[in-house]
Amino acid sequence: MSSYWPEFLKLSLVHLLAVASPGPDFALVLKQSIKSGRKTAIWTAFGIGSGILFHASYSLLGLGVLLSSSPFAFTVVKWIGASYLAYLGYCSLRAKPTNLLIAHSKGGESINQAPLEAWKTGFIVNIFNPKCALFCIAFFVTVVSPFTPLPLKAVYSVWIALMTFIWFSFVGYVFTREKIRTAFLRQGYLIDRVLGVVFIAFAVSIAFTALR
């Protein structure tokens, strides 16, 4: 197991950077936090985590078998991953301040969703999010060796899903606090630009491994 710690730590770091980058999932949790409150946001985060488990499972447990038997396919996936990460980095570097103002209607009350409905909302948004699907297929498979034992890949999948749930639950908690939410919206583009540099660095690293 000790020999897989570098792989696990790299996977965890990459996932942390990816999940922290604002996208459709983040926007959904933000909206749920504002419109329906903390409980609904947490159930939505659970749905998003379930979606990540779905993506991670078919990426880490299924495609690894195919890639381990086809060096050419493995190289192609690496290039796809490098290209997509470079694209994400480019888009992040172009991030600009936003004038978007998000607030409750004056005098309005929170509209609570049933837990199952909130979970379904998070799950559906995530599984139909092209960024999540392509990121899992093109990147997680390049980070995790096709020869990593299947039970360990299952642990990776559960870990990624759990960390996604915890992160978005935290987001839901934070953004029920008005001052913190407003400050993030004003400075979020700076975070995007920093992540853009990181994603491009990962893209270059993967491209180098594909050339070996």
What's the pLDDT at 122?
92
Q: Which one has a higher pLDDT value, 140 or 132?
A: 132
Contact between 171 and 29 under an 8 Å Cβ cutoff? The reply is: yes
Half-sphere CA count of 172, side-chain side, radius 13 A: 26
Half-sphere CA count of 79, side-chain side, radius 13 A: 8
Residues in the chain: 212
The yes-or-no verdict on residue 195 having pLDDT over 80 is: no
The yes-or-no verdict on residue 117 having pLDDT over 90 is: yes
Percent of the chain past pLDDT 70, that is, above it, reads 78
Mean residue pLDDT of the chain comes to: 78
pLDDT band at residue 118, thresholds of 50, 70 and 90? very high
What's the pLDDT at 133?
75
The mean pLDDT of 160-181, rounded to a whole number, is 86
Q: Where are the domains of the chain?
A: 38-93+114-211
Max avg pLDDT among 85-94, 149-158, 162-171:
162-171
Q: Which one has a higher pLDDT value, 188 or 198?
A: 198
187: nearest Cα among 91, 92, 96, 94 = 96
**What distance in Å separates the CA atoms of residue 74 and residue 16, rounded to the nearest whole number?**
24
Does pTM surpass 0.85?
no
The yes-or-no verdict on residue 209 having pLDDT over 80 is: no
Q: Which one has a higher pLDDT value, 95 or 45?
A: 45
What's the pLDDT at 104?
43
Contacts of 175 (CB under 8 A, 6+ apart): 29, 30, 33, 34, 41, 181, 184
The mean pLDDT of 133-160, rounded to a whole number, is 81
Q: Which one has a higher pLDDT value, 144 or 181?
A: 144
What's the pLDDT at 182?
64
